[in-house]
Amino acid sequence: MSVPHRVPPPAPPSAEVRRAGPAPTGDPARLRARAWVAVVLLGLVGQMAWTVENIYLNLFVYDTVTDDPTVIATMVAASAATATLATLLLGALSDRLGRRRAFIAGGYLLWGVCTAAFGFLTVGALDGVAPVANAVLLTVIAVIALDCLMSFLGSGANDAAFQAWVTDVTRPANRGRVEAVLAIMPLLAMLVIFGGFDGLARAGDWRTFFLVIGAVMAVAGVAAWFLVRESPALVRNDAGYLRAVVHGLLPSAMRANPRLYLALAAWSVWGVSTQVFLPYLVIYLQRYLEVEGYALVLATVLVTASVVSVACGRVIDRVGKVRFVLPAAAVYGTGLLLMFLARGTLPVIGAGIVMMSGFMLVLAPLGALVRDHTPPGRAGHVQGLRMVFAILVPMLVGPYLGAAVISNAGETYQDLGVVRQVPTPGIFLMALAVLAFIVVPVLALRRRDGRADA
Segment 66-111, tens digit of pLDDT: 777 778 778 878 888 888 888 888 877 887 787 888 999 999 999 9
CATH number for the domain harbouring residue 130: 1.20.1250.20
Task: Give me the pLDDT at residue 248, please.
Answer: 64
Tell me if 300 is assigned to some domain.
Answer: yes
Task: Give me the pLDDT at residue 136, please.
Answer: 72
User: Distance between CA 121 and CA 139 in Å, rounded?
Assistant: 7
User: Distance between CA 249 and CA 246 in Å, rounded?
Assistant: 5
Tell me if 264 is assigned to some domain.
Answer: yes
Tell me if 13 is assigned to some domain.
Answer: no
User: Distance between CA 105 and CA 395 in Å, rounded?
Assistant: 26
Q: Could you tell me the CA-to-CA distances from 11 to 17, 27, 318 in Å, in that order?
A: 9, 22, 26
Tell me if 21 is assigned to some domain.
Answer: no
Domain count, the chain: 1
Domain containing 289 equals 31-449
User: Distance between CA 288 and CA 413 in Å, rounded?
Assistant: 9
Task: Give me the pLDDT at residue 243, please.
Answer: 65
The rounded radius of gyration (Å) of the Cα atoms in the chain is 21
What percentage of the chain's residues is helix, strand, coil (to nearest 5)? 75, 5, 20
Tell me if 3 is assigned to some domain.
Answer: no
User: Distance between CA 173 and CA 437 in Å, rounded?
Assistant: 29
Task: Give me the pLDDT at residue 230, please.
Answer: 81
Task: Give me the pLDDT at residue 420, please.
Answer: 65
Q: Which parts of the chain register pLDDT below 50?
A: 1-25, 416, 451-454
Q: Chain-centre distance of CA 424, in angstroms?
A: 24
Tell me if 25 is assigned to some domain.
Answer: no
Instruction: Please name the helix (run of DSSP H) or strand (run of DSSP E) that holds residue 17, with its range, or none.
Output: strand 17-19
How many angstroms separate the first and last alpha carbons of the chain? 8
Q: Pairing between strand 418-421 and 412-415? A: antiparallel
